């Protein structure tokens, strides 16, 4: 198949000012047989980049190479039909007056493929997208998902080495989108074709991609695996765009061994592992994902027991009064691993807390000892989302944290809770002003 090398790519419309470029100084390596998503908000340059790869637009600067062959440069662009690529558009672009077979075979007719060979290739393409037996139907006799499969088959039938997809699922309902995600990923694995996919939907990008290129303002912000861009964002924009996050202002209070202590409020400090380039007193923003915050009812915390409810895995129930913990090997250390679930009794948890309520540097921060009598946080809102509960926990300083919990874990509006944050999963960015106090 084919890999893509993009080097120094820039494109402006109506102006040569780089600060207003649709795409500016883009460098990207897309490996052969990979699924890469260009992700970002509207106007970030992702669709322009896709059209540059397709050969529909001439770049102002830079080059696009496929397997070492330059296909696009400011002086010359290989035409779209000669690039060995297929394109799937957002609006399907199927002909309403042609049958499924006639839509799919069209590209082969343009290439003057013999009738018998073309028929066999169409049958193969339709089988790949699960449309066998529907060759004689017209688009108005198909569902939205089936029409999208026709568009996919039409691109696959010409046997491209690269398939470009411009938000192909955006017109489908939520359930169908989810099903089509699975089918697209499986299709890419079966065919071995390099997929370059454009979307503004973070869930799509995370579910489909081998690598994600996050763009904003025409520039590449981060390029990495879905886990990397979600769990270790390169900057504030990536952290904010990649799913739900609490971006909390704080100040660096102390440094030690490359890390240090960040104070979010008088009630909550975090011992984080990396504060490179920051100074004590400097303002920062701390990115905390809602799933990395734990809430515990004060009454049970004080007695060494967890929470208001016990959440247990089916068929692996611990003894009465015990609780289950999951430890996932860190991908950042190069070990993916499976989750290891250990059962701890309530008395063991109590002894652990009694031994040391202070977290190790870069581990977990607690708002304050439960016995101190302080109001650690108050539940001020609750949203039930089916597979999760979302709580708004307000600290005494007024800072609100959005927290996601298991749907069986319940807290009441107005209830006071202890707050723990997994500092190993937090990212720290220099504040907008960058001033120190």
In the sheet with 259-265, reading across from the earlier edge strand, the strands are 268-272, 259-265, 246-256, 283-288, 427-430
Query: For position 359, what pLDDT does the model report?
Result: 42
Query: For position 122, what pLDDT does the model report?
Result: 93
Query: For position 256, what pLDDT does the model report?
Result: 84
Query: For position 321, what pLDDT does the model report?
Result: 42
Query: For position 356, what pLDDT does the model report?
Result: 43
Cα atoms in the 13 Å half-sphere on the side-chain side of 230: 18
* Among 14, 2, 57, CA closest to 26: 57
What the chain holds in terms of domains, given with CATH numbers, is 4-240 (3.40.50.300), 246-313+360-430 (2.40.50.140)
Residues 419 and 236: their CA atoms lie apart, in Å, by 24
Query: For position 387, what pLDDT does the model report?
Result: 92
| Residues whose CB is less than 8 angstroms from the CB of residue 236 and which lie 6 or more positions away in sequence, other chains included | 247, 285, 287, 429
Q: Which residues of the chain have pLDDT under 50?
A: 305-362, 368-374, 434
Whether the full predicted model's pTM is greater than 0.75, yes or no, is: yes
Query: For position 300, what pLDDT does the model report?
Result: 56
HEC secondary structure over 173-188:
CHHHHHHHHHHHHHHH
């Amino acid at each position: 198949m084919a890999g893509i090398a993009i080097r120094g790519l820039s494109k402006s419309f109506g102006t040569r000012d780089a600060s207003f470029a649709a795409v500016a100084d883009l460098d990207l390596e897309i490996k052969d047989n990979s699924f890469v998503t260009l992700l970002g908000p509207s106007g970030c340059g992702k669709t322009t980049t896709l059209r540059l790869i397709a050969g529909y637009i001439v770049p102002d600067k830079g080059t696009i190479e496929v397997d070492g062959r330059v296909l696009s440069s400011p002086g010359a662009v290989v035409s779209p039909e000669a690039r060995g690529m297929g394109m799937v558009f957002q609006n399907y672009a199927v002909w309403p007056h042609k049958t499924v077979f006639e839509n799919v075979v069209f590209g082969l007719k343009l290439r003057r493929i013999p009738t018998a060979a073309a028929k066999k290739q169409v049958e193969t393409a339709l089988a790949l997208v699960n449309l066998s037996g529907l060759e004689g139907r017209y688009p108005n006799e198909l569902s939205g998902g089936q029409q999208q499969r026709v568009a996919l088959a039409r691109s696959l039938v010409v046997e491209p080495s690269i398939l470009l997809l411009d938000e192909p699922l955006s017109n489908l309902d939520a359930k169908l989108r989810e099903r089509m995600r699975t089918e697209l990923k499986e299709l890419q694995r079966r065919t071995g074709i390099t997929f370059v996919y454009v979307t503004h939907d973070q869930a799509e990008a995370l579910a489909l991609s081998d690598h994600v290129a996050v763009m904003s303002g025409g520039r590449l912000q981060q390029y990495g695996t879905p886990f990397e861009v979600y769990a270790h964002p390169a900057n504030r924009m990536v952290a904010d765009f990649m799913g739900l996050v609490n971006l909390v202002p704080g100040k660096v209070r102390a440094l030690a061994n490359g890390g240090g202590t960040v104070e979010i409020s008088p009630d909550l400090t975090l011992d984080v592992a990396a504060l490179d380039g920051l100074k004590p007193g400097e303002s920062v923003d701390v990115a905390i994902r809602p799933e990395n915050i734990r809430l515990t009812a004060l009454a049970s915390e004080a007695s060494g027991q967890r929470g208001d409810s016990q959440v247990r895995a089916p068929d692996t129930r611990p003894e009465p009064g015990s609780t289950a913990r999951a430890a996932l090997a860190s991908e950042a250390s190069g070990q993916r691993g499976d989750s290891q679930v250990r059962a701890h009794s309530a008395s063991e948890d109590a002894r652990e807390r009694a031994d040391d309520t202070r977290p190790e540097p870069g581990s977990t921060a607690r708002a304050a000892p439960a016995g101190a009598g302080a109001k650690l946080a108050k539940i001020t809102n609750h949203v039930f989302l089916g597979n999760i509960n979302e709580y708004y926990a307000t600290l005494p300083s007024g800072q609100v944290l959005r927290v996601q919990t298991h749907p069986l874990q319940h807290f009441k509006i107005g209830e006071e809770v202890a707050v723990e944050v997994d500092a190993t999963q937090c990212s720290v960015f220099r504040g907008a002003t960058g001033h120190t106090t």
